[in-house]
Amino acid sequence: MGKKQVLYPRFLDFMVQCGALLFGDFTLKSGRKSPYFINTGEYKTGAQLARLGDFYAKLIDNSVRPENEWGGIDEKTELQPRTELNDKIKAAFSVLYGPAYKGIPLVTAASAKLAQNGLDLNVSFNRKEKKDHGEAGQILGYIPQNGDKIAVLEDVTTAGTSVRETIALLESLRIEARISALYISVDRLERGTGGKSATVELAEKYGLRVHSIATAADVVEYLENPTLSALQIPDAAKHAANIRAYLKEYGAADR
């Protein structure tokens, strides 16, 4: 796993304001009944996507900083020169990959922000269906090459399915490219196929580093502590209790 990130209440405020973080009763793809739901399909405006790109770019910056040099998500800290920070990111990976479909706007927004910061990375994404005309192929944008190190951008990881699908897709290209990092909005901290969390399982099995802007535990703390939120969230304490109960049943022991 990557270094533990600090709590980002402003990001959770942003998600709630955009309708991307919802509380209630939801059925997940896994069939589990969840008291909260994350849907990045609710980012609907250019301004929202620009801010989302800022958050992801900041997460990527912080993932290569020494722990004592982290800045808050909206804090303009330049304890390292920008060029030095960009060099560290490029050493970690040179390709940003967004799994279809929700990963596509994430990788687009984040790559645009990083380019504004002077770091121009290759961008790839896939189509879910195979195409037998035109350029064919399943990967669009930059086609990964031998030796590439790739960072995957996702909205949320529950079981790690899309990462495994991405690895299988890269293997089908018969090239020596690998995923070195995974960046996500929220780590749900749920068990994977064993007792460990899905993100820990992915990190251990594939040798990648996982970084999240927030975790399910952060969401609970955000709901329970009114000083962390700039918003009035109805029934916040009830939602926090429901998420705690959910994590007790489905959460990983290593969270």
pLDDT band at 2 (very low <50, low <70, confident <90, very high): very low
pLDDT digits (tens, 9 = 90+) for 169-217: 888 888 889 999 999 999 999 988 877 888 999 999 999 999 999 999 9
If we measure between CA atoms, which residue out of 147, 248, 150 comes closest to residue 139? 150
Q: Return the domain boundaries, the chain.
A: 9-250
pLDDT digits (tens, 9 = 90+) for 69-99: 555 544 445 556 889 999 999 999 999 999 9
Q: What is the pTM of this model?
A: 0.90
pLDDT above 70: percentage of residues in the chain: 88
Q: Can you tell me the mean pLDDT for 159-163? A: 77
- Catalytic, 102? Answer no
Judged on CB neighbours under 10 Å (0-12, 13-18, 19+), 37 is middle
pLDDT reading at 5 higher than 80: no
pLDDT band at 131 (very low <50, low <70, confident <90, very high): low
| Omega cis (within 30) before 101 | yes
pLDDT reading at 62 higher than 80: yes
pLDDT of residue 203: 92
The total of other beta-carbon atoms located within 10 Å of residue 145's CB is: 13
Catalytic residue, candidates 4, 33, 44, 131 = 131
CATH of 9-250 given 3.40.50.2020, 3.60.150.10, 3.30.1490.20, 3.40.190.10: 3.40.50.2020
Higher per-residue pLDDT: 151 or 6: 151
Provide the token pair at 72.
């808050």
Catalytic residue, candidates 58, 133, 211, 239 = 133
Judged on CB neighbours under 10 Å (0-12, 13-18, 19+), 96 is buried
In what side-by-side order are the strands of the sheet with 95-98? 139-141, 122-126, 95-98, 149-157, 178-187, 209-215
pLDDT reading at 6 higher than 60: no
